[in-house]
Amino acid sequence: MNKVLILGAGTAGTMMANHLRRELSPEECEITILDRDNQHLYQPGLLFLPFGKYRKEDIVKKRDKFIPNGVEFRLAEVDRIDAGNNAVILDGGETLRYDLLVIATGSRIVPSECEGLEGEGWHRNIFDFYTLEGSAALGQFLSTWKGGRLVVHIKEMPIKCPVAPLEFAFLADSFFKERGMRNRVDITYVTPLSGAFTKPVASEMLGHMLSDRQITVVPDFDVERVDAAEQKVISYDGREVPYDLLVPIPTHMGDLIIARSGLGDELDFVPTDPETLQSKAHPNIFVIGDATNIQASKAGSVAHFESEVLTRNVLHQLNGEALEPIFDGHSNCFIESGGGKGMLIDFNSETEPLPGQFPIPGVGPLPLLRESRLNHWGKLAFRWVYWHLLLKGRPLPFITTTLSLKGKIIPDLKENQT
């Protein structure tokens, strides 16, 4: 009998446990999934927590509730993967053998990668919103803040849900307006990229969103250090951005076990074939979700599309068949723009976000790359979809695994914007 072991029971691992149990009978394959704790966090909710929109109870549930019958769920800390011997060694020394391993250990923020970030200012006037602790503490801080200079700062790519920092800036703008204190807050968005939007169509269609909201963008900013005493962020080329409240998006890295097992790149992400999701180093190791080094966004929706491809390829691998190189980097995401509105984007590694209707061409009901109330409701509904469809590996109505160009419009851009 085959043994499949899944490391990590977050978004991607949980989906794989559900898919694989449906496809493989307990007689033909033993499936085990392992995580270090039993608290499944709905991470997109972390964006709303600081603004008092969700409570902790809304976004944390027990992991094992989402693991199907017939899959063994184990709580354990992994010490390392011994790929040469097809085994995973747990803290404490127990060895689990596998025929096929799925790595779904996600990514984590590593504030210590930025000098000065974790010093005296950390969780005093510097808060991340990528962890439950950071996001909750930021909420506490904002509830009594009198205003000043808010700086949202991205250290380096890749980060989870690359639009989340922008959404945070939009939601902050709308939060301060609702509280009647927008005139007492400066919002600055500091990015290592060439702007808040980097793709031609999005830049042209959405560029005004920041100026409309009086959000200042500081582009091409490679941070050298944070000076917590002087309250400023300093770049390698000597530019300084002062803050009263700093919301950093720190460096993201893969889990420490990846480094300990010698399986990672310079950020401890696992080199993975972008089309089959097989690890480049070991044919019986597959990688899904934030743990891969592929260019696709680190997002739950990407993990969902990947899970459909990976399920087929795991079956092929177990049957000794050729893998299907079909993953296209498909990603689909709602973007909160504040004031009860939102946007929706649908794209892959080849095709940038385009305007149009989604998911049904000509009908929608959701407009792409444009603000609407319906997209905001879509984002809120995503929480339900996440717990009830996504984690269970159910298909999403009307949404295809790979990108569809139907319903999308390729606009004529102005001369200087092609």
Partner 1 sequence: MNKELSGTTVDVDAEGYLTDPGQWTKEVAVELAKEEGIELNDRHWKVIDFIRKDGAENGTAPNVRRITKIGGVPTKELYELFPGGPAKKAAKVSGYGKPHGCL
Helix (H) or strand (E) segment spanning residue 59:
helix 56-59
Q: Tell me the closest approach of the beta carbon of residue 183 to partner 1, in angstroms.
A: 28
At residue 333's C-alpha, the angle toward residues 167 and 60, to 5°, is: 75
Question: What's the min distance (Å) between Cβ of 237 and partner 1?
Answer: 6
Tell me the C-alpha distance between 112 and 73, whole Å.
32
CA atoms within 13 A on the CB side of 144: 5
10 Å CB burial of residue 411 (0-12, 13-18, 19+) is middle
Shortest Cβ distance from residue 266 to partner 1 (Å)?
Answer: 5
- Residue 237 interacting partner from partner 1, ligand FAD, none (CB closer than 5 to 8 Å by kind): partner 1
Cβ-contact 9, 37 below 8 angstroms: no
Give 223's DSSP letter: E
Closest approach of ligand FAD to the CB of residue 43, in Å: 3
Binding partner of 236, given ligand FAD, partner 1, none, CB within 5-8 angstroms per partner class: partner 1
CB of 296 to partner 1, least distance (A): 9
Closest CA to 108 of 8, 18, 192: 8
Answer for the pair 248, 117: CB distance below 8 angstroms, yes or no.
yes
Residue (153 or 298) nearer to ligand FAD, CB: 298
Which one of partner 1, ligand FAD, none interacts with residue 77, CB within 5 to 8 A by kind? ligand FAD
DSSP string, 286-297: EE-GGGB-SSS-
Of these partners, ligand FAD, partner 1, none, which one is at the site of residue 116 (CB under 5 to 8 Å by kind)? none
Q: What, of ligand FAD, partner 1, none, does residue 60 touch, CB below 5 to 8 Å by kind?
A: none
69 binds, among partner 1, ligand FAD, none (CB under 5 to 8 A by kind): none
Residues that bind partner 1 in the complex, under the rule CB under 8 A:
156-157, 162-163, 166, 192-194, 197-200, 202, 206, 220, 222, 224, 236-237, 265-267, 274, 295, 297, 331, 333, 335, 345, 347, 353, 416-418
How would you label 209-235 residue by residue, b for 16+ Cβ within 10 Å and e otherwise? bbeebebebbeebebbebbbeebbbbb
Whichever of 44 and 121 has its CB closer to ligand FAD, that residue is 44
| Start-end of H helices in 106-163 | 132-144
The binder of 246, among partner 1, ligand FAD, none, by C-beta within 5 to 8 A per type, is: none
Residues that bind ligand FAD (CB under 6 A): 8-13, 34-37, 43-44, 46-47, 77-78, 104-106, 129-130, 160-161, 164, 255, 257, 289-291, 298-301, 303, 333
Considering the complex, what minimum distance in angstroms separates the CB of residue 346 from partner 1? 11
Minimum distance from residue 221 beta carbon to partner 1 (Å): 9
Our measurement of the distance from residue 412's CA atom to the centroid of its chain's CA atoms, rounded to an integer in Å, reads: 31
